[in-house]
Amino acid sequence: MPRGVTRRRPHTRAALLRAALETFAEHGFHAASIEQICERAGFTRGAYYSNFAGKDELFLALFDEHGERIVRRLAERIDALAPEDYTLERLAALASRVEPDERDWYLVSTEFTLHAIRDRRAARALAAHDARLRAEIARGIELVVRRSGRELTVDADRFARLVIALREGGLAQSYVEPDALPPGTLERDFLAPLLASVTRRTSVGPHDGA
């Protein structure tokens, strides 16, 4: 492959991912066409197929990119805390933040999840990507809980599933009733006491969260 093509590939892929998210959010995963994505990105079908085999693979690349961004944002916020701020309440407040662009991702990911429920091949692929992201979330939960002077008393992976369910279920209600339940409300109200109920103190001091 010519060097110029190699250098351009990351730019092409990034532009296609941005265009795909916008197109999926606007038209729906199934209704959106590859032609629409290419037109929005400013590339040909050839450029598309040199990066992705189809829409499922494109979505999974979006999934990984989104997951990495969310984990990175949260890690940066947590790392910026002073030691005395490592309380369960403060950690829950940080985890409850919902960025304005999250609505588009929620629309796209929810539709793909429904697609995966109907299609076993898509389900297996999504489950594998879910598992990798969930492992990162579980490790992060264990780390921040330890920093607060506590430890989990339940399986970290199972608890990560519960946290994800709280997040996604809350957003479903928030996007339907944004005035009654602004995004992040359920996490702010219930994540800290939930964490307290599945953790125990390992040290006594200013880092205790409950």
Give the rounded percent of residues in the chain with a pLDDT score beyond 90: 77
Q: How far apart are CA 57 and CA 53, in angstroms?
A: 6
Enumerate domains of the chain plus CATH numbers.
1-52 (1.10.10.60), 55-201 (1.10.357)
- In the chain, the N- to C-terminal Cα span, in Å, equals 58
What confidence category does residue 7 fall into, taking pLDDT thresholds of 50, 70 and 90? low
What confidence category does residue 203 fall into, taking pLDDT thresholds of 50, 70 and 90? low
Q: What is the pLDDT, as a whole number, of residue 210?
A: 40
Other CB atoms within 10 A of residue 53 CB: 9
Other CB atoms within 10 A of residue 19 CB: 21
Strands 150-152 and 199-201: antiparallel
Given a cut of 50, is residue 190 above it in pLDDT?
yes
What confidence category does residue 10 fall into, taking pLDDT thresholds of 50, 70 and 90? confident
Query: Tens digits of per-residue pLDDT, 135-175?
Result: 999 999 999 999 889 999 999 999 999 999 999 999 999 99
